[in-house]
Amino acid sequence: MNGAMLNWNRSDFERRFGFDSKKYTGVNSMFSFLMAVLMTAAFYGILHALSRLGEYDKVNMFFHGGPENRSYIPYFTVFLSSWCMAILFIKSRKLKLQKKALELDIVPQDTDFVLAPNSASLIINSMYEKVDDPQKFLLLNRVARSISNLKNIGRISDVAETLGAQAENDENYLESTYTLLKGFIWAIPVLGFIGTVLGLSEAIGGFGKVVAMGADLDKLKDSLSGVTAGLAIAFETTLIALVFALFIQLVMTMMKKKEEDFIDECSDYCHRNIITKLRTIGLRQEYDLEKD
C-alpha cells in the first residue's frame, strides 16, 4: 500500500536487504549470520592493518600461530561475538520501527467517541489505511485482536481480557528472541576456557618431556621459562572471551530494557485509547485495578 503512513515492507531493516523478516523485533538468523561474517572480516582487516604497523603487539593475540604458537580459538570467539552484535543491532533497528506505531492516531481522539461493536470497524479501517501489515507491529496487532473480538462477538468484556492475554504473549515472544543470544553469551567464555586448557596442556606437556629426558638444571630452567610464557599466551584466549562476553551482556541488558519500556508504552497506549473509550464504566475500573 503506497499510501500507508507506516510501511513494513519498505521500512523493516531485514526487508530492505531482501530477507524474510521476523515479526516485531525478532531477527532472521541467516541475515544476522551474514552480517556477523562481514563484521568479523572487517574486525580482522583492521587488526591486520594495525599489526603491519608494528606498534600494536597486543593485536597478535587475536591471530593463530606465530612464535608463540597461538590457537585458532580467538577466531571463533570473535565470530560469535560479532553474531551477537549483529543480532542486537538488527533488533535495535526493528525496535525503532516498532515505536513509530505509537505515533499513529488509530483511535479517534474525539472525547465523545465511544468504543462499541458498531464503531469497532472505524478503528480497523483506519489501521489498514495507515499501515500495510498491522500484524507485524506489536502494538497494532494487539489492538487489532482486541477490536476484532469486540466487532465479531460484540462482548465489550472480552476486550480487556484479550489485551491482557496478548500482552503476556508479546512479552513471551520478545523474551524468546534472546534465546540464541543467551546461548552465544554462554558459549563465548567456554571457548576461552577451551583455548586456555589447550595452551596449558601444550606448555606443560613440553616441560614434561624435558623432565622425562633427565635434562640438567640449565635445560630445566629454560624449559620452565617456556612454560610460564606459554601460560601467559594460554590465558589470552580466556581474557578475550571474558571481555567480549561482558560487553555483549551489557549491550543485551540495555536492549532488553528498551524493549521492556516499549511494552509498557504499548500497554499505556491501549489503556488510553481503548480501555478508557469503552462504554462499560465498570470494565474500566476493573482494568485499572488489574493494571495497578
Q: Quote the pLDDT of residue 132.
A: 86
Q: Quote the pLDDT of residue 37.
A: 97
Grid-cell match 481480557, residue found: 161
Q: How far apart are CA 225 and CA 31, in angstroms?
A: 47
Q: Quote the pLDDT of residue 223.
A: 54
CA dihedral (178, 180, 14, 88) positive or negative = positive
Q: Quote the pLDDT of residue 280.
A: 46
Positions in the chain whose pLDDT score sits under 70: 1-4, 54-57, 66-69, 111, 150-158, 202-233, 279-292
Q: Is 245 exposed, middle or buried (0-12, 13-18, 19+ CB in 10 A)?
A: buried
Domain boundaries, the chain: 8-99+111-291
Grid-cell match 495497578, residue found: 292
